[in-house]
Structure 1
Amino acid sequence: MKNDVKKSANRKHTIQYDNWGYVFIAPFFVIYIIFSLIPLLTTFIFSLFEYYRVGLLTVGPTFIGLENFKAIFTAGDSLGKYFLNTLIMWVMGFVPQIIISLLLAVWFTNTELNLKGQGFFKTVIYMPNLIMAATFAMLFFTLFSPNGPVNGMIRSIVDKTNETALGLGAAEPMKPIYFFTSTAWTRTLVATMNFLMWYGNTTILLMAGVMGIDNSLFEAARIDGASPSQVFFKVTMPLLLPIFVYVFITSLIGGIQMFDVPQILTNSAGTPDRTTMTIIMKLNNHLQSKNYGPAGAISVLLFAVTGVLSGLVYKITMSKYQNKR
């Protein structure tokens, strides 16, 4: 009896830590449920309802099934056009981004090159990622406006060339280039901004992947007489594939969700002729007009497309890697 009493007394004074883990992870689940899960489920629900506002009058919510999905495909303003715009601008920015990031990652991690000032260059290439997209867009809008610095430099160079060739005052002043009235130029500017903002982050990720490869593999390849290009394609790239796929998928998701740069650069109009309007910009137009049904339908469709494309990319690129293992 005395032993039982002592054991029960000891239990009362003993702190039980078994359930404290749930207490520490509870904030994450609470925040996730409130700010992510509930809005996600609400979006799915709104996609099946007619729900919008006209002035101060709210219409709905009225259940209409898949009518919102039919409307976004059959309307004169086709959603496919905006998806194509988004895809084109993402590809234009991602291709140079991944090429330059791969080169920088290989150079910075190459022990034979032993580049000096690596810390400085790594900081510089990552700095654009810290600048807000709105600031970047306003900067480019100012630089490439008809009276901006870029037009001023081009005009100065052309005028000096004409003066040299034809004599002083013989040529008329050059007219400014209206960059934002050209589809090619506007898309190029959007892609350039996305490239500048994200190539530093991509470089850091790829560098981490290269540094995770055993250095003895590179040394063995060099001893066997492999050239730098052979080392890159036969050793670095196959072992870097998991990180490369991660970068590709996250960039694809970010590209599909492209919004802030073209929104600010074109003043939310997607000029010229909506050739730079993205899917999220179209979604934002529905939200601004309080038309929650089509907005929900676009969000659900975007969720499905993102999931399918990410799954396909992972399956196609990683199948060979998994088979080799």
Structure 2
Amino acid sequence: MKRSKRSVNYSKWGYIFIIPFFITYFIFSLIPLLDTIRFSFFEYFRSGMRIIGPNFIGLANYKALLDSDMLRYAGNTMVLWSLGFIPQIIVAMLLAVWFTDKRTKMTGLQFFKVVMYLPNLIMASAFAMMFFALFSTNGPVNSILLDLGWIKEKIDFLGTPFGTRAMIGFMNFLMWFGNTAILLMAAILGINEEIFESAEMDGCSPFQKFTLITLPLIRPILTYTLITSIIGGLQMFDVPQILTNGQGSPNRTSMTLIMFLNSHLKSRNYGMAGALSVYLFIVSGILCYFVYKMLEEKDPTGMMREKAKKNKKKDVTLNEK
């Protein structure tokens, strides 16, 4: 008699182990998301001691937001994000290339990584409070500049739109450039050294190696960094909220979309808050899609192109014969 072999199916255990995640996601993420979308179509707010709604009003909340200052606050958000992200990615890339270059022979690399990452460990609220104290009219920065004789009158750093925006951008830069630099360093160190050695033997300059080898091969990490930064920029709240005391001063030039959303939540206007959340969700998705498509590269090393050229030459040779 032949003994029947009993096969053990382990695939079901994978589904069993991921059930807790899906239960948690369903309760704490999916249901609130769907509820937010539902509230965006209703008139639902508090007037004094009386609660109005929920009354279905269709797209009225979305239209009211377009007629409000939402687009202006969206512009503020993009300006503040750009002031922090552009120097962040430039400095992070320079540090990553410098620290991973074998010719520099730098020692204590782990120490520098820790120092760069330290600002990321400080809470954004504490960071904002520290800068508010340092750069206030009676703060130590003004006192030092007066003692050195570099200025004759105290500077109101937070009294102008440029000063406030520059301060917020500088804080965002300091908090995140270390994290970005470490990500880019890991990506560059993951590139095979033989590729760089072959490029050097072919006479490539350092600039050519960076533009033709390093940048294409770290494209996935650059895409991840840009997408997460865009999402974080659209959710910018704590630094401008604390630095401007929630007013977006001066003249609401530092008011972000999430601060605008928070004002609706404070007034218990859940319908408008839901509609604004949906707008943010749609804009985030569109921006991330375009960034992904722009940075998508199916053949970063050029191997497929070279192979196609060789095959084409072979075909031409055979046809001639």
Q: TM-score by structure 2 length?
A: 0.89
1:297 to 251, 256, 275: 275
Which residue pairs with 1:189 in the alignment? Answer: 167
Are 2:57 and 1:79 aligned? no
2:233 to 255, 268, 271: 255
Map 1:174-323 onto structure 2 (within 5 A): 174-318=152-296, 321=299
Which residue pairs with 1:44 in the alignment? Answer: 37
Which residue pairs with 2:316 in the alignment? Answer: none
Which residue pairs with 1:165 in the alignment? Answer: none
Q: Could you tell me how far 1:69 is from its partner in structure 2? A: 0.3
1:197-250 Cα offsets, whole Å, 9 max, x none, are 111111111111111211111111122222211211121111111211111111
Which residue pairs with 2:307 in the alignment? Answer: none
Residues 68 and 323 (structure 1 numbering): CA distance in 2 closer, same or farther, change over 3 Å?
Answer: farther
Map 1:166-177 onto structure 2 (within 5 A): 174-177=152-155
Which residue pairs with 1:153 in the alignment? Answer: 144
Which residue pairs with 1:166 in the alignment? Answer: none
Are 2:23 and 1:30 aligned? yes
Residues 323 and 295 (structure 1 numbering): CA distance in 2 closer, same or farther, change over 3 Å?
Answer: farther
Residues 226 and 319 (structure 1 numbering): CA distance in 2 closer, same or farther, change over 3 Å?
Answer: closer
Alpha-carbon distance in 1 for matches of 2:40, 2:207:
51
List alignment gaps of at least 5 residues for structure 1: 162-172
Which residue pairs with 1:119 in the alignment? Answer: 110
Which residue pairs with 1:57 in the alignment? Answer: 50
Q: Could you tell me how far 1:19 is from its partner in structure 2? A: 3.6
**AA paired with 2:140?**
P
The ranges of structure 1 where at least 4 consecutive aligned residues each deviate by more than 2 angstroms after the TM superposition are 15-23, 319-325
Q: Could you tell me how far 1:310 is from its partner in structure 2? A: 0.8
1:139-183 Cα offsets, whole Å, 9 max, x none, are 00000001111101111122xx6xxxxxxxxxxx93211111110
1:91-114 Cα offsets, whole Å, 9 max, x none, are 111111001111111112112212
List alignment gaps of at least 5 residues for structure 2: 305-321
Residues 227 and 319 (structure 1 numbering): CA distance in 2 closer, same or farther, change over 3 Å?
Answer: closer
Length, aligned pairs only: 302
Q: Could you tell me how far 1:23 is from its partner in structure 2? A: 2.9
Alpha-carbon distance in 1 for matches of 2:170, 2:299:
32
Alpha-carbon distance in 2 for matches of 1:286, 1:312:
30
For the residue of structure 2 that corresponds to 1:113, the secondary structure is: coil
Q: Could you tell me how far 1:125 is from its partner in structure 2? A: 0.1
Stretch of structure 1 that moved more, 23-32 or 304-313: 23-32
For the residue of structure 2 that corresponds to 1:51, the secondary structure is: strand
Q: Could you tell me how far 1:277 is from its partner in structure 2? A: 0.4
Are 2:84 and 1:70 aligned? no
1:86-136 Cα offsets, whole Å, 9 max, x none, are 000111111110011111111121122121111110000001111100010
Stretch of structure 1 that moved more, 199-208 or 138-147: 199-208
* Cα RMSD for the two superposed structures: 2.3
Alpha-carbon distance in 1 for matches of 2:291, 2:266:
34
Determine if contact 2:117/2:178 at 8 Å carries over to the other structure: yes
Alpha-carbon distance in 1 for matches of 2:301, 2:255:
41
Alpha-carbon distance in 2 for matches of 1:312, 1:214:
29
Q: Could you tell me how far 1:21 is from its partner in structure 2? A: 2.7
Alpha-carbon distance in 1 for matches of 2:30, 2:299:
34
Q: TM-score by structure 1 length?
A: 0.88
Q: Could you tell me how far 1:184 is from its partner in structure 2? A: 0.3
Alpha-carbon distance in 2 for matches of 1:247, 1:107:
19
Alpha-carbon distance in 1 for matches of 2:295, 2:148:
47
For the residue of structure 2 that corresponds to 1:62, the secondary structure is: strand
Alpha-carbon distance in 2 for matches of 1:293, 1:271:
26
Residues 116 and 287 (structure 1 numbering): CA distance in 2 closer, same or farther, change over 3 Å?
Answer: same
Work out the percentage of aligned pairs sharing the same amino acid.
54
